[in-house]
Amino acid sequence: MQIIRDIAMLRRAVSALQQGGKSVALVPTMGALHAGHLSLVRMGKRVADHVIVSIFVNPTQFGPNEDFAAYPRDEDRDAALLVEEGVSLLWAPDVATMYPGGHSTHVEVAELGADYCGAARPGHFDGVATVVSKLFNQVRPDVAIFGEKDWQQLAIIRRMARDLDFALDILGAPIARDSDGLALSSRNAYLSKDQRAAAVAFPNALKAAAKAIAGGADIAETLAKAEADIVAGGFDSVDYVALADAESLERLSLFRKPARLLAAARMGKTRLIDNLAVA
């Protein structure tokens, strides 16, 4: 596996991979890889001849009081995992390569980025849309793969790719979960043993709420109960638990399909997100 940090070298390496009409899948990540990321790589291997993974902890998607400095980084470990998965190229630019001095162009997906995590993390999705559009232009893949774990992010990237005519397919991969049901996340590493055990209250509350809503329960009452259950389970606060149209992300007060339950909750300094189909 080649590890590349320079844009000109990346362009040459991608062209070489594409020789003979071979296709390329891109899996963008911030590193601290877990089985969820590796499931995206495996999907990439199924749909394309080569998989390129990017690792870039993107400063512009972190707020001033968020965990950019503390975010877990271990490139050697990540690279070893990617070699085992048969990844062709690791694109690992530094901040100065991604944002050279004077960088002043941003991408904003206004309609989809305002609510949910966008409300709790102002500027977050502008940072995501900007860096992902840069990654698309740098690598120029045939397909890019994102996790359904970040449902709002996936919806925003699909909309951005459509709106800006990026010539690639966007694929979503199902959420990989631990055996107790907690969605895998690099941020789970912040949880103490006791916090990790308690965190199962989060997916459990969402599962119960999704079942209740599909069964015809009152939506406002069900969402309020889910919030109360998450706090009773040991979380300090809930940013949101919402029922949304799965594509437009519009909040739903009446159940109609396709719908998605979206949620974010905080335990100590750790903020976790999750979502579920309501079917």
Nearest distance in Å: CB 182, ligand AMP: 9
CB of 222 to ligand AMP, least distance (A): 24
Please state the closest distance from residue 133 (CB atom) to ligand AMP, in A.
Answer: 15
- The answer to whether residue 37 is catalytic is yes
Kindly report the CA angle at 116 between 112 and 121, in degrees rounded to 5?
95
Q: What residues make contact with ligand AMP under the rule CB under 6 A?
A: 29-30, 36-37, 39-40, 146-147, 149-150, 173, 175-176, 183-186
Residue type, 177: R
The residue whose two tokens read 């909750």 is 265
Cα separation, 250 vs 242, whole angstroms: 10
Q: Are strands 259-267 and 237-245 parallel, antiparallel or unpaired?
A: antiparallel
Instruction: Tell me whether residue 222 or residue 274 sits nearer to ligand AMP (CB atom).
Output: 274
Question: Inter-axis angle of helices 124-139 and 7-18, to 10 degrees?
Answer: 60
Residue 40 Cβ, how far from ligand AMP at the closest point, in Å? 5
Spell out the long-range contacts of 248-256 with Cβ–Cβ below 8 A and sequence spacing 24 or more.
248/112, 249/112, 249/115, 249/116, 249/152, 249/155, 251/115, 252/219, 253/219, 253/220, 254/219, 255/213, 255/214, 255/216, 255/219
Specify the residue, 127 or 147, whose C-beta has the smaller distance to ligand AMP. Answer: 147
The one catalytic residue among 37, 50, 103, 124: 37
Query: Between residues 150 and 239, which has the closer beta carbon with respect to ligand AMP?
Result: 150
Burial per residue of 152-179, b for 16 or more beta-carbon CB atoms within 10 angstroms, e otherwise:
bbbbbbbbbbeeeebebebbbbebbebe
Active-site amino acid positions: 37
